[in-house]
Amino acid sequence: MDTDYLVVGAGAMGMAFTDALIDHADVHVTLLDRRPAPGGHWQDAYPFVQLHQASRFYGVASTPLGSGSIQQEGPEAGLHERAHRAEILAYYDDALRRRFLGSGRVTFLAGHEHRIDSTGHIATSPTGEEVRVRVRRRVVDAAYLAPSIPATTPPPFAVTPGAHVVTINELARLDGDPTAYVFVGSGKTATDGIVWLLRNGVDPDGIVWIRPRDPWMLNRAVVQPDPAVAIGLAADTMAAAADAASLDDLFLRLETAGVMLRIDPQVAPSMAKAPTLATWELDLLRTVEHVVRMGRIRHVTAEAVVLDKGEVPLPPGAVVVHCAASGLQHPPMVPIWGPDVIRLQTIRAGFPCFCAALAGYVEATRDDDRERNRVCPANAYGNTLTEWARMQARGAVAARTYGAEPDIAAWANGCELNPARIDPSRRADPEVVAATTRLQAHAEAGLARLTQLADGREVVN
């Protein structure tokens, strides 16, 4: 088959790129995925998963996900809605069917594996049939940042026969009543599983949390689709950075400002993937007192979890919950527009859907790859504190660069996936003006210090 663009991966990034591309260029796209439907990792996510950020920041630019409403009840009342798995999958299915296939300009190869051989691009169907795809314009790698999740990633430790190890996906359908839940993992997945159990009445003393590293997490209340809040977050980040003597000091200042959260105030976190967490979730997580910090797990037997620096005995009937997949990926940062392929990566800090849509818009509206890479330099996710600072510094510079292009600035300000967007009706809002003024006051000093911290330089005042 012939096509203008071959997009490999129909997850959030492939969908957002394709949507923006066909909106601004009269081209044909072949989108393929080894999974049977669009939505990427959400297809295999645990049943009680939700977006960790507001629905408004997720999906494709042309079609909002959700109704944009603010939660009226429950522990998160006052914060924007966050879609559950079923809503996300229905949204992507609808976007594919109505918008992509309905346009007549997109072909979707479901359940097809992509590979390249000496003759070119090949998509292999579930029955083994091979389709040769001749690509007139570009190949797009929309799986470069595909996250690794427990459902599709084996535990990073040995499991001896007889040991009861399950993935978080199985939590909701366990037979019987485990005598103890032993969670393995420091990140968002483990926090989701523990919060879900505690909300369902499990006693915190029945939970053991093996947490080799402690994480910094973003307070969900400051990551909201409201320009006063979003610009306020940028202002707080730059103000904290401007005065920070070290990376630890930066995060402590952000904690004081209500931006960053950590589970144990006595422990200095070394992990900064920084998913969002609500304060009600933090309160629940702090009720789990049996936390194990004895390094990484070597193996799990029916009787014990064996770690680098000790063992955790397992009572009969205990279940070990594997939440130890690495989640966000950190492959080498490369130019998005490469000689052979467009490799979708983030551009501003975080917000992969907005970044992929931005890349789709820039692909459609510019002719020269050097110029495209100039206006959209690649960024990466944070993992360590240093990487988080680098992500912020690179993201701030990138946002200035693409924001200086009038057409991109106009498109980005109309795109609801963009957290920095200011709706024209809010421009004169005193809260927005105050946040913008504060950001302007701290931006230069904050960016300069973030750059130093990202380069590993402690700062002498």
Ligand X SMILES: Cc1cc2nc3c(=O)[nH]c(=O)nc-3n(C[C@H](O)[C@H](O)[C@H](O)COP(=O)(O)OP(=O)(O)OC[C@H]3O[C@@H](n4cnc5c(N)ncnc54)[C@H](O)[C@@H]3O)c2cc1C
Inter-CA distances, 373 with 143, 367, 447, Å: 19, 11, 21
Q: Does 65 bind ligand X (CB under 6 A)?
A: no
Which of 147, 206, 258, 403 touches ligand X by CB under 6 A?
A: 147
Q: Does 35 bind ligand X (CB under 6 A)?
A: yes
Q: Does 405 bind ligand X (CB under 6 A)?
A: no
Output the smallest distance, CB 373 to ligand X, in A.
Answer: 19
Inter-CA distances, 323 with 169, 246, 320, Å: 10, 31, 9
Write the DSSP symbol of residue 97.
I
Query: Of 45 and 319, which CB lies nearer to ligand X in the complex structure?
Result: 45
- Partners of residue 72 on adjacent β-strands: none
User: Which range of residues in 7-15, 224-232, 245-253, 428-436 is near ligand X by CB under 6 A?
Assistant: 7-15
Q: Does 32 bind ligand X (CB under 6 A)?
A: yes
Binding mask 346-375 for ligand X (x = CB under 6 A): -----xxx----------------------
Structure token digits, residue 339: 């000689």
Output the smallest distance, CB 328 to ligand X, in A.
Answer: 6
Nearest to 233 by CA among 432, 72, 378: 432
- Partners of residue 110 on adjacent β-strands: 33
Query: Of 113 and 431, which CB lies nearer to ligand X in the complex structure?
Result: 113
Query: Of 85 and 211, which CB lies nearer to ligand X in the complex structure?
Result: 85
Q: Which residues of 209-241 are buried (b: 16+ CB within 10 A; e: fewer)?
A: bbbbbbbbbbbbbbbbbbbbbbbbbbbbbbbbb
Terminal alpha carbon distance of the chain:
62
User: Which range of residues in 26-34, 165-173, 194-202, 365-373 is near ligand X by CB under 6 A?
Assistant: 26-34
Output the smallest distance, CB 17 to ligand X, in A.
Answer: 9
Q: Is residue 376 within 8 Å of 342, Cβ to Cβ?
A: no
Which of 146, 336, 357, 380 touches ligand X by CB under 6 A?
A: 146
Q: Does 13 bind ligand X (CB under 6 A)?
A: yes
Which of 7, 11, 312, 449 touches ligand X by CB under 6 A?
A: 11
Which of 8, 278, 355, 415 touches ligand X by CB under 6 A?
A: 8
Nearest to 39 by CA among 94, 99, 105, 98: 94
Total site size for ligand X, rule CB under 6 A? 32
Output the smallest distance, CB 240 to ligand X, in A.
Answer: 22
Structure token digits, residue 205: 């003393």
- Partners of residue 114 on adjacent β-strands: 123
Query: Of 237 and 451, which CB lies nearer to ligand X in the complex structure?
Result: 237
Q: Does 40 bind ligand X (CB under 6 A)?
A: yes
| Euclidean distance between CA atoms 219 and 387, whole angstroms | 19
Output the smallest distance, CB 220 to ligand X, in A.
Answer: 10
Q: Concatenated DSSP letters for 417-454?
A: T-TT---GGGTT-HHHHHHHHHHHHHHHHHHHHHHHHH
User: Which range of residues in 31-39, 161-169, 219-227, 390-398 is near ligand X by CB under 6 A?
Assistant: 31-39
Question: Which 108-137 residues touch ligand X, going by CB under 6 A?
Answer: 113-114
Nearest to 283 by CA among 87, 88, 75, 20: 75
Q: Is residue 196 within 8 Å of 278, Cβ to Cβ?
A: no
Q: Does 272 bind ligand X (CB under 6 A)?
A: no
User: Which range of residues in 141-149, 194-202, 304-312, 402-410 is near ligand X by CB under 6 A?
Assistant: 141-149
Q: Which residues contact 132 (CB under 8 A, 6 or more apart)?
A: 1, 119, 120, 121, 122
Output the smallest distance, CB 83 to ligand X, in A.
Answer: 8
Positions touching ligand X (CB under 6 A) are 8-14, 32-35, 40-41, 45, 49, 51-53, 57-58, 113-114, 142-143, 145-147, 149, 327, 351-353
